[in-house]
Amino acid sequence: MTKRAPKSIVKRLPIYLRVLDGLISREVEIVSSRVLSEETGFTAEQIRKDFAYFGAFGTRGTGYNTEYLRSKLLRIIGLDRQTKLVVVGAGLLGKALTRYNMLKNPYVDVAGIFDANPAEAGSEIGSLKIRPMKDMPAVIKEQQVKVAMISVPAESAQQVVNDLVDNGITAILNFAPTKLKVPQNIHVHNADLTNELQSLIYYVIEDKEELRSNSK
Amino acid sequence: MTKRAPKSIVKRLPIYLRVLDGLISREVEIVSSRVLSEETGFTAEQIRKDFAYFGAFGTRGTGYNTEYLRSKLLRIIGLDRQTKLVVVGAGLLGKALTRYNMLKNPYVDVAGIFDANPAEAGSEIGSLKIRPMKDMPAVIKEQQVKVAMISVPAESAQQVVNDLVDNGITAILNFAPTKLKVPQNIHVHNADLTNELQSLIYYVIEDKEELRSNSK
DNA sequence: CATTGTGAACGGATTCACAGCC
DNA sequence: GGCTGTGAATCCGTTCACAATG
């Protein structure tokens, strides 16, 4: 409810968190904004402004206590409690996302993965069974899941999202290449990998010089 | 070389392209900025400014010719010729990315997928064989590939990137959860799915109201 | 007369410069 | 002395309002 930080800051929070996790695992206890700057690529001033936005976490003349800063960031992002999520769409991408989060993301807990194709249902990812779509509402409601990732074909994405929202999902990470319509208070992050790749291609250097030097 | 459009615009170009592809397949010949606004979620003024940045493509009083606009955008992004790319890392994510692009992305051509694990080498994605890392330099050089996607563990990502750059790659889509160091003229887009998910979680609505109304 | 193209106004985010503090 | 915290200045992207035009 009191959540209203600028998007630009929110985007950077998980990056700080990752760097801090690294520092802490190497038993670094204090870190300066300049070191964080080197690790993240953001400017030191920006980093200080970001932290200061949520209150002052550092000690002048010294820096930031890594453990303390981490605990603050976890609280701010909302990762201080395990977050449950469901995955809809058990194609290769859905499976990859599910397994990755089960193994590597300690902050989340995959409550279920669902697929419209009954042939997929029953096969397993780690210890998690892929379940038919009809089981989805019960899982979301019983476990009060708020977050969903969807990796279904573009054609079915809107219908899936409608169902998710009807059952109580409020935040969606969308891998389907389509614009979703949702009520105002529901958050959608688009992670369209084709768009990412295409906008990257804009920056490709064609480099005639190099071609010339090849044929030396 | 003359490529210097604002990042904010470049990010939107693939989205326009996708919408245009849809309109063209439904044989729509003319489109206004207002209709594009509905389809994309961007404002009509912004869309006009974006196109105008590259020159005037529309007709006042009428709108934009869909075919013409599409051809312009393809040229601008650099998708008017097939773009070759390599994928490094043939885990579930690498396989998913490879297969998706082979099947669904007509603008690119996967020249090869490579994995450090010899056990993976030889297995196939569609008609494409996963190859050992040592074959990577030859493929990049012979086919003059400039674009790479990497989906390897964070620990090996920097080494992989160094090799890619040494062999002529200039643009990298990075799925590994780590900050990569590259020379100034090399472009890296980070597509860290954990970051996306975590920043989404910031926006989750905890909704005490709803909990209360459940227990009616 | 509907719709594009664009200078001007606005707003948000970043950078600068330095005051405050350990 | 070194590093954080922050008001002021700047930069960049978006929105507004309207002139231009098929």
- Residues B151/B94, Cβ–Cβ less than 8 Å: yes
Looking at residue A2, what is its pLDDT? 57
Angle between helices B44-53 and B33-40 (to 10 degrees): 110
Length of chain B: 216
Protein-contacted bases of chain D (C-beta within 7 A): 1-7, 12-17, 20-22
**A69 and A92 part of one domain:** no
**B91 and B148 part of one domain:** yes
Asked if the structure places residue A143 within a domain, the reply is yes
Find the CATH number of the domain harbouring A49. 1.10.10.10
Closest CA to B110 of B132, B88, B92: B88
Pick the last residue of a domain from A25, A54, A77.
Answer: A77
Q: Do A203 and B173 touch (CB under 8 A)?
A: no
**B53 and B124 part of one domain:** no
Strand D proximal to B42 Cβ, under 7 A:
yes
Instruction: Return residues 45-64 of B near A (CB < 8 Å).
Output: none
**B52 and B145 part of one domain:** no
Q: Do A187 and B204 touch (CB under 8 A)?
A: yes
What sign for the dihedral angle of Cα A156, A162, A164, A170? positive
Asked if the structure places residue A13 within a domain, the reply is yes
| CA/C1' separation B56–D16 (Å) | 20
DSSP assignment of A98-122 equals HHHHHHH-TTEEEEEEEES-TTTTT
Task: Tell me the nearest-neighbour CA distance from A173 into chain B, angstroms.
Answer: 7
Closest CA to B85 of A200, A92, A93, A96: A200
Asked if the structure places residue A107 within a domain, the reply is yes
B154 in reach of chain A (CB within 8 A): no
Looking at residue B208, what is its pLDDT? 55
**B182 and B87 part of one domain:** yes
**B87 and B193 part of one domain:** yes
Query: Which nucleotide has the shortest C1'-to-CA distance from B61?
Result: C3
Looking at residue A56, what is its pLDDT? 86
* Number of H-type helices and E-type strands within chain B: 9, 9
**B97 and B189 part of one domain:** yes
Asked if the structure places residue A120 within a domain, the reply is yes
Asked if the structure places residue B203 within a domain, the reply is no
Interval B44-62: pLDDT, tens: 999 999 999 999 899 999 9
Higher pLDDT, B105 or B121: B105
Asked if the structure places residue B154 within a domain, the reply is yes
Strand D proximal to A195 Cβ, under 7 A:
no
Closest CA to A75 of A2, A181, A161: A2
**B101 and B30 part of one domain:** no
Strand D proximal to A16 Cβ, under 7 A:
no
Average pLDDT of span B75-83: 96
Query: Which nucleotide has the shortest C1'-to-CA distance from B37?
Result: C3
Looking at residue B86, what is its pLDDT? 98
Task: Tell me the nearest-neighbour CA distance from B178 into chain A, angstroms.
Answer: 9
**B57 and B71 part of one domain:** yes
CA distances from B101 to A114, A160, B70, B106, B108 (A): 23, 23, 20, 8, 7
Phi-psi category of B86—alpha, beta or left, where left has phi over 0 and alpha has psi -120 to 50? beta
Q: Do B77 and A15 touch (CB under 8 A)?
A: no
Number of structural domains found in chain A: 2
**A165 and A67 part of one domain:** no
Task: Tell me the nearest-neighbour CA distance from A38 into chain B, angstroms.
Answer: 10
Determine the Cα–Cα distance for residues B49 and A161; give it in Å rounded to an integer.
Answer: 32
Looking at residue A186, what is its pLDDT? 96
Looking at residue B123, what is its pLDDT? 85
B97 in reach of chain A (CB within 8 A): yes
Residue A21: which domain range?
7-77
Asked if the structure places residue B209 within a domain, the reply is no
pLDDT confidence bin for B201, thresholds 50/70/90: very high
**A162 and A113 part of one domain:** yes
pLDDT confidence bin for B119, thresholds 50/70/90: confident
**B53 and B92 part of one domain:** no
Find the CATH number of the domain harbouring A110. 3.40.50.720
DSSP state of A182: -
B15 in reach of chain A (CB within 8 A): yes
User: Splitting chain A (216 residues) into consecutive groups of 10 residues, what average pLDDT does each group show?
Assistant: 84 98 98 98 98 95 98 97 97 96 95 90 87 97 98 97 98 97 95 97 76 37
